[in-house]
Amino acid sequence: MKLPFQKVLIANRGEIALRVIRACHEMDLKTVAVYSQVDEHALHVRFADEAICIGPGPATQSYLNIPHLVAAAELTGADAVHPGYGFLAERADFAEVVDKCGMTFIGPSPEHIRAMGDKVRARKLMEEAGVPVLPGTGVLGSAEEAVEAAERIGYPVILKASAGGGGRGMKIVFDPEKLPATFENASQEAKAAFGCGDVYLERYVTSPRHIEIQVVADKHGGVIDLHERECSIQRRHQKVIEEAPSVALDGDVRRRMREAAVRAAKAIGYHSVGTVEFLLDGDRFYFMEMNTRIQVEHCVTEMIMGIDLVQEQIRLAAGEPLGHLDREHSPRGHAIECRINAEDPVTFAPQPGTITALHVPGGFGVRVDTHIYQGYTVAPYYDSMLAKLIVHAADRQRAIRRLRRALSEFVVEGIGTNLPLHRWIAEHPAFVEGRYDTHFLDEHRDDDAVARFRDEHP
């Protein structure tokens, strides 16, 4: 089937832009890279068929500048736009502009993005669809409402930004006396971060695991899931390591969670790839949010399922039915992904600068998605992720051993990275035995041990 578009502009940068370019080239699609002035020598610029500068370094003047992106698409004759993840990937207004300009947005509809982007609305939709949600509220009008709701739900509680996501804008409250002030702070922070001060409240699960289900849906009502990913190794609600499948799920819980994710996607008529995220509390699970885009951690699903999710996303945007995917898929082996960031492994302070030496690991079952090279300068304007190291093996213990080997071969000099933190995690008994939840780093982190890994293996 010939696709209805032939040239794709990638409205992003870094490794995800390069990832999309590769997927497009394998489908015989032309690509257009956009870049800021500081990204002129980036690899996504080099490997795209065309490239066009869209502004200065700060993202607000380049990668978040919708008029510049649309102009770049029109100037180059692009007839489709892939948003990647981050930046404008979950901006309904961007998807609407792309549609109105006669181009194909490679993602869900603006309405799907809007519905799941409003976390209060998403909760209500999931409740109506029979997907488990935590006891909670709608948008709170005042601190007094928050106090009344918390007394009804029971402490601890968590305040969340209605327009938030990705772990940002959350405030946990254990002490009832602190709730009024925390409510005001949360509302102000939400306004500053998302342009909307609306917050809501949910019961807080003290020791959860973070499990997400990859869903794939076409424009003809077909929806399947591609099993789960475990994302519980986190720092301040930001994922550090992901793996698939999860050791925390038994057959019944896994089945019910997969069914709930498919039900969630069908309830809103979703199409494209997406991720339904859950909190797991023992054998109970609760809807947390739905991400209406390709995920950073999509690679671990690709490794165990043998499916190129970016290419499937492109086919779905072209209107193709699930077809060959519309059958039961069984995961093969185990995959683990580490996010390699330009940050101090102990303080987590950003570490921009020039990479003076680089060696990327390889070998059987090792994949590295990255945009860096020796001599590359890490700018201070963007997310600090440099690379994703993904390993795959027949089972989890072999995957962990492969991960340790690959981490020991990974060399980045000239700037600080969190590689020592990953090396420490890969050796920790709680991680090796699968005995962890979202508080793993808070409970187990040993800065002296991480520093030793840094000093021994810079």
Domain ranges in the chain are 7-106, 135-203, 209-456
pLDDT of residue 213: 98
Answer whether 355's CB lies under 8 Å from 414's CB: yes
pLDDT for 104 beyond 80: yes
Query: What tokens appear for 320 in the block?
Result: 């193709």
Average pLDDT over residues 445-456: 87
Rounded to the nearest integer, the mean pLDDT of the chain is 95
pLDDT of residue 455: 80
For the 209-456 domain, the top CATH level (class) is: alpha beta
Task: List all residues 6 or more positions away from 208 whose beta carbon is below 8 Å from its beta carbon.
Answer: 232, 279, 280, 281, 437, 438
Query: In the block, which residue shows the tokens 């709608």?
Result: 138
Q: What is the pLDDT of residues 361-390, one digit of tens each?
A: 999 999 999 999 999 999 999 999 999 999
Q: How far apart are CA 69 and CA 78, in angstroms?
A: 11
pLDDT for 79 beyond 60: yes
Q: What is the pLDDT of residues 126-157, one digit of tens each?
A: 999 999 999 999 999 999 999 999 999 999 99
Average pLDDT over residues 345-362: 96
Buried b or exposed e, range 356-392, using 16+ CB within 10 angstroms: eebebbeeebbbbbbbbeeebebbebbbbbbbbbbbb
In this prediction the pTM is 0.95
Question: What pairing do the DSSP bridges indicate for beta strands 7-10 and 30-36?
Answer: parallel
pLDDT of residue 326: 59
Q: What percent of the chain has pLDDT over 70?
A: 98
pLDDT for 293 beyond 80: yes
Question: Would you place residue 1 in the very low, low, confident or very high pLDDT band (cuts 50, 70, 90)?
Answer: low
pLDDT of residue 412: 97
pLDDT-wise least confident of 73-82, 175-184, 258-267, 449-458: 449-458
pLDDT of residue 458: 56
Query: What tokens appear for 401 in the block?
Result: 């051993």
pLDDT for 327 beyond 70: no
Query: What tokens appear for 425 in the block?
Result: 């995690």
**For the domain bounded by 7-106, which CATH number is listed?**
3.40.50.20
Please tell me if the domain spanning 7-106 has the same topology as the one spanning 135-203: no
Question: Would you place residue 451 in the very low, low, confident or very high pLDDT band (cuts 50, 70, 90)?
Answer: confident
Pick the residue with more confidence: 43 or 190? 43
Catalytic residues, which ones? 293
pLDDT for 416 beyond 70: yes
pLDDT for 164 beyond 60: yes
**For the domain bounded by 135-203, which CATH number is listed?**
3.30.1490.20
CA atoms within 13 A on the CB side of 191: 7
Answer whether 233's CB lies under 8 Å from 431's CB: yes
pLDDT of residue 328: 64
Question: What pairing do the DSSP bridges indicate for beta strands 238-244 and 334-341?
Answer: antiparallel
